[in-house]
Every structure is written in structure tokens, then in C-alpha cells.
Amino acid sequence: MLKKLVLMVLCALPISLFAQDAKLGHVNFQEIVSVMPELDKVEKDIADLNTQWKSVLAKMQDEYTAKVKEYQDKQATMAEGIKTALLSEIQDIEQRINTFQQSSYTDLQKKQQELVAPVLDKVKKAIKEVASENNYTYIFDMSTQNIVYNSPKSNDITSLVKKKLGITNAAPATPAATK
């Protein structure tokens, strides 16, 4: 896939770009991120937060277990009104546990993204600086097979391809209405 992408870029670049000594390079973005020293702190912070969530969840589950046990132990001697109230309480606890699990998972993901973002930005900035200092035109990320840097000197030939195809409108085509 990456070879096809590189080949397409090479075929699409104008000859004048080759005259300017175009340089292509590649990095493994994930490998770089995985060895960043800041990642240890991020992982520790996420683990600490996860421990807090698990502690709260364990307390909620203990409460649930206690209520279920109480209901099972006393159900034969309870009045119907008390049974109904206790069952309602048990269902409420189940709902709170489910809601808590869902929100904690979402919050944990958001926090992880928030903590990892500065690390990713730092790596991207370093890639751009190295590419610029060494006059690279394009840098490919081997881990995702994407272009992570393109020089301001690179040529966008989109308009030339549109012209070659006879496309004159600037707006992207809209799909036809289906019947």
C-alpha cells in the first residue's frame, strides 16, 4: 500500500520538482511515541485514575451484593411493600453501576487522549523541524502509511488534474438523489 502511495506521488510530481532535488523520507511515528519519556508519566496517571474508578465501582458492587443478599435472606418474611421497595433499590443500584461503568470508560479515554496529545504534538513538531532542516519534501509514517509532513515547496496538482479531466467547478460533486 505504501509502495503504491509513494509510486503515485512520484508519478504525480511535476518534473520541475525533481529538478529541485525532491527528498522523500519516512519515520515510524508509533515507535518514536512509544519511547518518549513523557509516556511513562501518562501511563502512570491513567493507571492511577483507573485504580480510583475501580475502587468506586467495587464499593458500588459491594452495596449491590449486600442488598441482593438482604433481599434473598428476608424475602420469605417481608411484606410485599418492602419487597417492592428493596427490588426497586436493587434495580437502581444496577442502573447506577452500568451508568458508572460507561461514563468511567468514556472519561478514561478522554483523559488518555488529553494526556497523550502533548506527546504526539511534540513528536510531530520534531518531525517537521527535522524535515525542514534537511530539506525533505515529504515524510511518510511507516506505521500508518500516511504522509506526516509535506513541504510548503511541494506542488499540489489537484487543479491540474481537474483541468485535465475537464472539471471546471470548484465545489465537490454531490451524490445524486436516490428514488
Question: Do residues 62 and 97 touch, judged by C-beta distance below 8 A?
Answer: no
Reported as a single tens digit per residue, the pLDDT across 35-47 is: 888 999 999 999 9
Reported as a single tens digit per residue, the pLDDT across 137-179 is: 888 888 888 888 877 777 666 676 677 777 776 555 454 554 4
Can you give the pTM of this predicted structure? 0.64
- Domain boundaries defined on the chain: 22-163
Contacting residues for 86 by C-beta, under 8 A, at least 6 apart = 67, 70, 71, 78
